[in-house]
């Protein structure tokens, strides 16, 4: 399992999200995210590398089996809009991609099996353009 990287600000916001969702809905919906946060290396937003997926990053994934492409933006649940490609961080694909680097193989569970993609590109990362408030 590759090391994942999370900014201190993303970690703090996501940790609060996990805590609030646990109070409302129990552990189930946030357990995968909580697991990823526990294993993440935390760094300052100014130190995150531009090839690391952070919150509000837009990424392109490529299916290792079919070669199909998928473009998504990782967002907080209240901003999710599947038609616009804005995927909640609580969705398995977003949780799996958070903190990964370009070139990483990313796997997440499906109702029947699992999906395996390659993180082909980061099309937008807020920190790379100096936006440390996203």
Find the mean pLDDT for residues 114-125: 97
Torsion angles phi and psi, residue 102, rounded to 5: -55, 135
| CATH code for the part of the protein at 5-129 | 3.10.50.30
Query: Who wins on pLDDT, 97 or 2?
Result: 97
Q: What is the structure's pLDDT at 133?
A: 74
Pick the range with the lowest mean pLDDT from 2-11, 19-28, 72-81: 19-28
pLDDT band (50, 70, 90) for residue 60: very high
Q: What is the structure's pLDDT at 134?
A: 65
**Which residues have C-beta within 8 Å of that of residue 47, sequence separation ≥ 6?**
none
Q: Is the pLDDT of residue 125 over 90?
A: yes
The answer to whether the beta carbons of residues 115 and 50 sit under 8 Å apart is no
Find the mean pLDDT for residues 116-122: 97
Find the mean pLDDT for residues 5-22: 95
Provide the whole-model pTM. Answer: 0.93
């Amino acid at each position: 399992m590759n090391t994942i990287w999370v900014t201190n600000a993303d970690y703090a916001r996501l940790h609060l999200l996990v805590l609030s969702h646990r109070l409302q809905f129990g552990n189930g919906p946030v357990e995968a995210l909580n697991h990823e946060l526990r294993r993440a290396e935390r760094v300052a937003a100014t130190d995150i590398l531009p090839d690391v997926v952070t919150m509000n990053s837009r990424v392109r994934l490529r299916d290792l089996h079919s070669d199909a492409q998928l473009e998504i933006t990782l967002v907080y649940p209240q901003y999710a809009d599947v038609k616009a490609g804005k995927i909640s961080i609580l969705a398995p694909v977003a949780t799996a991609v958070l903190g990964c680097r370009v070139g990483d193989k990313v796997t997440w569970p499906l109702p029947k099996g699992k999906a395996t993609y390659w993180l082909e590109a980061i099309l937008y990362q807020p920190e790379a353009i100096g936006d440390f408030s996203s």
